[in-house]
Chains A and B, each alone.
Chain A
Amino acid sequence: DQQVKQNSPSLSVQEGRISILNCDYTNSMFDYFLWYKKYPAEGPTFLISISSIKDKNEDGRFTVFLNKSAKHLSLHIVPSQPGDSAVYFCAAIRSGGGADGLTFGKGTHLIIQP
């Protein structure tokens, strides 16, 4: 039972264009969502997060949108740069709940084409 789903294993985007990575979740108890970025041979690093009380959070070139009714969030990267090529993991948690860890999606490999 996959509670966080990233249905696109890979995505190829031209440099300078917008990258949109999607994530769906099934557990309505999740109330905090995060995106992690992972380069080969390194651990995931935190990128951006959003609380369920918001529908948008922006940090420089990165914006996360949350649609609670659809249980869907997306990460927008504008403009896309070669250094953005990495695997992106969507993660969710019940922040007010117990000590469970993050529930991760399977990841989307973003490839920025020059």
Chain B
Amino acid sequence: EAQVTQNPRYLITVTGKKLTVTCSQNMNHEYMSWYRQDPGLGLRQIYYSMNVEVTDKGDVPEGYKVSRKEKRNFPLILESPSPNQTSLYFCASSLTYGGTYNEQFFGPGTRLTVL
């Protein structure tokens, strides 16, 4: 089954404790992206990756890191989480970017709480 998976689905942590949210897709998609969803703000892009070893900042990258060592995986890293990073996070992927747009497929979400 074609899908985007995220782990963990739920996480409660404390300020300053490094964490990683994993994202994996099995559709051989080139483009992957992370979004956060906050009440009243909709979905905002954190980082994106056009292909292996190619990443760039989205609209709200502060406090986050990403890596793209393999095509299928795009982990989101919070080196020193803070309470304002409490949010619902979505990973997404699409076949490619630009040109004829290909729809993005979203993972199920990771609800993160930073105390």
Q: Which residues of A contact B (CB under 8 A)?
A: 6, 32, 34, 36, 41-46, 49, 89, 91, 93, 95-107
Check A99 against B50 for contact (C-beta < 8 Å): yes
Dominant SS among interface residues on chain A:
loop
Cβ–Cβ contact A46 & B48, under 8 A: no
Partner of A96, one of B92, B99, B105: B99
* Closest beta carbon of chain B to A66's beta carbon, Å: 14
**Chain A contacts for B101, CB-based, 8 A:** 32, 49, 93, 95
For A43, the closest partner residue in chain B by CB is: B106
Closest to B106 in A: A43
Are B98 and A49 interface neighbours, CB within 8 A? Answer: no
**B74 contacts A by Cβ under 8 Å:** no
A104 touches B44 (CB 8 A): yes
Chain A positions within 8 Å of B64 at CB level: none
Q: Convert B21-43 into 0s and 1s, putting 1 for each residue whose CB lies closer than 8 angstroms to a CB of A.
A: 00000000001010100001111
A-facing residues in B94-115 (Cβ within 8 Å): 97-101, 103-109
Identity of the chain A residue whose Cβ is nearest the Cβ of B47 in the assembled complex: A101
Judge if B67 is at the interface, Cβ distance under 8 Å: no
